[in-house]
Copies of this chain bind each other. A is one copy, B any other.
Amino acid sequence: MDNRRIGVFDSGLGGLTVMKELMALLPNESLVYFGDTGRIPYGTKSEETVLKYTRSDINFLQTFHLKAIIAACGTASSIALPKLSGQYDIPLLGVTKAASRRAAAVTRNGRVGVIGTTGTIRSGAYRSFLEEENPEIQTVSVACPMFVPLVEYGYAEKEAAKMIAKDYLQEIIESGADTLILGCTHYPLLKKVIGEVLGDSVTLINPGECVAGDVKKLLEENDLLSKEKQTEQYQFYVSDDPAEFIRLGSMFLERPIDGLVSRIDIEKYN
């Protein structure tokens, strides 16, 4: 039994979709979340910059007494985690590896689609992880940079989102993939429109759900589960004004977070 907290970080508020999965699957765990809202997005920035920002996110989280750190951000998981693995004493889990394992397990025809930010797709991390799982798997990857703004600016349910989704997903449809990894935190919020475009025959993989499963397994196998809920079970930190995070965060988390969010200067942790 181990009552230490679990740290979660993301480029902004998208990682709250991962936080939600962790809360649901591990209701006794205490979680501390950092969203780098002052430097968001990561998905359009260079590998070097994403690596630098990820390091400072981890440095900040390590000021807490933690038993594991989760990279909720698809871009940080894809670009930075493979380069940082082994550099920290604490278990560091990312969404990319977790989702690749799940996708490799569920695909029937060995063709897996991956959608994500420009940075995630350019990194080739999903392709590498999927090949590690099964060298026979064929991966088709498409960067969908419009998906994050469509979600953040309230267009997820509108006709424009469907038109853009049809455009982006054409290559996935043509590939015959039977499984699609929603490789960015925001994409589960487009599940409806993506499902409509692809039809029922394609299984959608939510990386947040997969990594939550990995965390549960890690804690169980190492006898690290929390015995009981702690006071201040959930804490949130951001690097810009918390107001917008609080407002949109409730949409992602499906519960109010007012009063639990503090601001820090992330550049001090570079």
Interface residues on A, range: 20 to 34
Told that A40-B44, A46-B241, A145-B149 touch, could you supply 10 new A-B pairs with CB distance under 8 A? Answer: A37-B45, A39-B39, A44-B244, A46-B240, A49-B240, A49-B241, A145-B152, A146-B150, A155-B164, A160-B160
Q: A149-B145, A149-B146, A267-B267 are in contact. Are A243 and B46 (CB under 8 A)?
A: yes
Alpha-carbon gap, A106 to B149, bound state (A): 34
The 10 closest A-B pairs by CB, nearest first: A46-B241, A149-B149, A160-B160, A145-B153, A160-B163, A49-B240, A46-B240, A146-B153, A160-B164, A45-B240
Is A38 interfacial (CB 8 A cutoff)? Answer: yes
Residue of B nearest to A50 (CB): B240
Name the B residues within 8 Å of A164 (CB-CB). 155, 160
Question: In the complex, how many angstroms separate the beta carbon of A256 from the nearest chain B beta carbon?
Answer: 20
Name the B residues within 8 Å of A44 (CB-CB). 40, 244
Alpha-carbon gap, A158 to B168, bound state (A): 13
Is A270 interfacial (CB 8 A cutoff)? Answer: yes
Is A48 interfacial (CB 8 A cutoff)? Answer: yes
Name the B residues within 8 Å of A221 (CB-CB). none
Name the B residues within 8 Å of A153 (CB-CB). 145-146
Is A159 interfacial (CB 8 A cutoff)? Answer: yes
Alpha-carbon gap, A46 to B238, bound state (A): 12
Q: Could you mark each residue 15-47 of chain A with 1 if its beta carbon is under 8 Å from any beta carbon of chain B, else 0?
A: 000000000000000000000011110001111
